[in-house]
Chain A
Amino acid sequence: MRPATSLNIVTDPAADAAEGPNLALAPKPGVLPKAILAPAQAAEVPARRVAAWLRSALPKLLMTTLSLGMFIAFWYFATKYKLDFYIRFNNIPSPGEVWENAAYLAQSDKFYNNMYVSLRRILIGFGIATVLGVALGLLIGQYRLARGLLFPLFETLRPIPAIAWVPMAIMLWPTNETSIVFITFLGSFFPILLNTIHGVNSVDPVLLRAARCLGTSEFGLLRQVVLPASLPHIFTGLAIGMGVAWVSLIAAEMISGQFGIGYFTWEAYSLIEYADIAIGMIVIGVLGLLCSGAIRILGNMLMPWMAGSQHGGQK
């Protein structure tokens, strides 16, 4: 007869250790999580770690420089020799011209004002989309009544791209400003809403049951369990929403704007200030990048427990 497992184990030192509470309760070295060991190691060899980091980062840095350098070199020669092979570089500003104009614009209050106006539109539109998207997403995900009443409406509106709303928005809202903010809001609202709903739906039911057993009220459940459990999905929605918000904003500014970096870029075309087009594009890219970075930083701050897993995901 094969002896049952526990019979074997009663002669095991681990079981003996269990007799003295202190020994039994002390964690075994084998199960010590990595995170506890890491800080000690970091303090031990800071210099070596910096060197190791440099060694691993240097090739990447070189390749990045090379990659961008090749692009700028091509740009430089294509504009210098006015390359014309189906795509035409006749009117394209050279890197030098762009640099000169940029130096000039860096002194211009009007240019900064355009950046400020665009950022403000993003903040307001995206901010409202975040509040509404997360709140409605939680309700729709959690309550059948909210899902029944709201979801069909949103499913109907969702396939309409935010840009398609431009003429309607201009008629709908009293000022140009509000209609542009509305377009920005629309663009980011749906990704945030849908990801929040998805987050709520993928909350581990055992967590809800555990919370109920600990005396949590219905509302407490939403705020203390469903919301934090959905945060990773919500932040996925925010990251996507931020991207779409910029797409929608720039398009709206180009079509109906006064002020704003999208308007600046389009105006540069009308005014034959071709170098400014490139500057507008670059600034749009950089601002978008900064906004996405801000979302990521905020996510890391609000979800410290995800620190380990996000590292794995960045590779």
Chain B
Amino acid sequence: MMSPTDDTPSATGHILIDHLRVRFGSKAAAVEAVSDVSMEVKPGEFVSIIGPSGCGKSTLLNVVAGFVQPSEGTVSMDGKPTDKPSADRGMVFQQYSLFPWLTVRKNVEFGLKQKGLDANHREEAARTLLGLAGLLAFENHYPDQLSGGMKQRVGIVRALATSPQVLLMDEPFGALDAQTRVVMQQILTNMWQRFRISVLFITHDIDESIFLSDRVYVMTARPGMIKAEIPIPLPRPRTPDMALSPEYLQIKQQLRELITEESLKAMGGELKDSGLAGFDIEVGPKGVAELV
């Protein structure tokens, strides 16, 4: 694979999250969504966050994006607080978020237009990027005419078009079928290596987090804290058959145990809330692994 930039990571796109707390609602009925999270994404690094549903992953990402303000602590990129959205933090959403009234190419050009780039340069840049993602043949299609995987690919290309320092991705492949997901992961890896930007990636999928990331943060059930930080030392380029290697399986087992514990905690809370507390389900670590 062509990746001449492997040894020269960019110096920007450094995200620092320091003792972040996010509470929603007024003082009395406040809900703590993120609780004392400290973490970092180094320049050019691919970092995933994995955790049970409702643990505050999206909230965390929204603070980095600038949509949500910290209640306590700080979040900064390259030393500047991320207090409002900006084109140097590109975002890819779980829901399809292409502008339905714009063609694929115009969607990709959207960010460049905001920068004041003239039409010719916009078109050239957009077509180059679409070519890289294998979407050039669809440049004049409207989003409604694309499959889910293509829409998300356009979403990634659109976010990359403004040359952001970091890409924030909130379960971008969550709505895709398993096959498409794997292809998308390959494409994302290719793009990431080509652009050498930092990525903060949220997922539910353990394999996805291992396959993509340099590091994985596991979050606890709500209120979300960092439970563990797992480095993924697998060499790159990563190939699908690595999933059978002992290192891979060991990391996977480790992540699975951490997450299962938290998922059960999260569900345990819900079970109790719905009056099912009487059912004492005894599940040992092995039995738990069977369930997942």
- Chain A, 6-28, contact with B by CB distance < 8 Å: what is the 0/1 string? 11111110111111011011110
Is A35 in contact with chain B by the CB < 8 A criterion? yes
Tell me whether B87 and A213 are in contact (CB under 8 A): yes
Tell me whether B93 and A14 are in contact (CB under 8 A): no
Chain B CB within 10 Å — which of A206, A210, A224, A228 has the most? A210
Q: How many residues of B contact A (CB 8 A)?
A: 58
- Given A27-B150, A220-B114, A231:B101 Cβ within 8 A: yes
- Chain B, 139-181, contact with A by CB distance < 8 Å: what is the 0/1 string? 0011111110110000000110010000000000000001111
Name the CB-closest residue of A to B2. A21
Chain A residues near B99 (CB, 8 Å)?
207, 210-211, 225, 228-229
Chain A residues near B141 (CB, 8 Å)?
33, 35-36
Tell me whether A305 and B183 are in contact (CB under 8 A): no
- Given A213-B85, A214-B162, A6:B93 Cβ within 8 A: no
Is B110 in contact with chain A by the CB < 8 A criterion? yes
Is A106 in contact with chain B by the CB < 8 A criterion? no
How many A-B pairs fall under 8 Å by CB? 145
Is B65 in contact with chain A by the CB < 8 A criterion? yes
Is B211 in contact with chain A by the CB < 8 A criterion? yes
Name the CB-closest residue of B to A8. B178
Partner of A214, one of B110, B180, B190, B240: B110
In the assembled complex, the Cα of A17 lies from the Cα of B101 at a distance in Å of 32
In the assembled complex, the Cα of A207 lies from the Cα of B179 at a distance in Å of 27
Name the interface residues of A205-237: CB closer than 8 Å to any CB of B. 206-207, 209-217, 220, 224-225, 228-229, 231
Tell me whether B190 and A21 are in contact (CB under 8 A): yes
Chain B residues near A31 (CB, 8 Å)?
147, 149-150
Name the interface residues of B100-151: CB closer than 8 Å to any CB of A. 100-102, 110-111, 114-115, 133-135, 137-138, 141-147, 149-150
Partner of A4, one of B91, B186, B207: B207
- Given A33-B141, A229-B101, A10:B182 Cβ within 8 A: yes
The 25 listed contacts between A and B (C-beta, < 8 Å) are A6-B181, A6-B207, A10-B240, A12-B182, A15-B179, A15-B182, A18-B187, A24-B183, A24-B186, A25-B187, A33-B145, A36-B145, A209-B93, A209-B97, A210-B99, A210-B158, A213-B86, A213-B90, A214-B87, A216-B114, A224-B110, A228-B99, A228-B102, A229-B100, A305-B101
> Which B residues fall within an 8 A CB radius of A?
65, 67, 85-87, 89-91, 93, 95, 97, 99-102, 110-111, 114-115, 133-135, 137-138, 141-147, 149-150, 158-159, 162, 178-183, 186-187, 190, 205-208, 211, 239-241, 243-244, 252, 289-290
